[in-house]
């Protein structure tokens, strides 16, 4: 390959190298630990200031209607948040006014099936190929009071932004639960 071709080669959409993949996994394990330990203010530090945190609802549809099974933007969503609105929720936990979380839930976040690719600016406006498109699966166990137990399973698609100091921040997160009807009495868990 010529030097001119190498200079114009793009990483957009390509699988990340082994070191980057390991870095992303460690980032997710740290995030899970912060959430499980109830360190929500520290968790906020992992989020970009322009965060888009979205968990649409879903419905059961026939095979031919699967494209309609997930709510579109502007339709019903469990979460449609910014960093600022998540910070407000977290401040509310500490205010004593969030009765659904007093006493607080105990959670265990398990993250697996992590796939990491370089973001494609053509598909993700405002991002560069230094940013990362990441898909993962999760299982969140939640226990509250004596008999309240919930299990949430699903997948996440994130765009992680590379910061000036080389760190990572979650800039976009789309969460899709596998269940369409939640058995939980409330949904005050972060994913």
- Is the per-residue pLDDT at 2 higher than 70? no
Q: In what order do the strands lie in the sheet with 47-56?
A: 77-81, 47-56, 168-177, 148-162, 132-144, 106-118
> pTM, whole model, 2 decimals?
0.88
- Whole-number Å distance between alpha carbons of 13 and 10: 9
Mean pLDDT rounded to a whole number for the chain: 90
Mind listing the pLDDT tens digit for each residue in 166-188?
Answer: 899 999 999 999 988 888 877 88
């Amino acid at each position: 390959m010529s030097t001119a071709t190498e200079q114009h080669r793009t990483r957009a959409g390509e699988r990340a190298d082994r070191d980057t993949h390991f870095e992303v996994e460690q980032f997710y394990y740290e995030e899970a630990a912060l959430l499980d330990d109830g360190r929500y203010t520290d968790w906020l530090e992992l989020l970009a200031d322009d965060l888009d945190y979205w968990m649409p609802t879903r419905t059961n549809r026939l095979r031919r209607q699967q494209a309609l099974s997930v709510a579109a933007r502007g339709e019903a969503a469990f979460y449609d948040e910014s960093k600022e609105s998540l910070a407000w929720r977290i401040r509310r936990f500490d205010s004593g006014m969030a009765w659904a979380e007093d006493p607080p839930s105990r959670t265990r976040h398990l993250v697996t099936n992590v796939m990491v690719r370089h973001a494609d600016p053509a598909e993700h406006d405002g991002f560069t190929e230094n940013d990362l498109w990441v898909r993962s699966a999760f299982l969140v166990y939640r226990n509250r009071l004596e008999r309240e137990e919930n299990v949430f399973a699903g997948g996440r698609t994130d765009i992680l932004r590379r910061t000036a100091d080389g760190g990572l921040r979650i800039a976009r997160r789309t969460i899709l639960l596998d269940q369409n009807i939640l058995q939980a009495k409330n949904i005050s868990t972060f994913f």
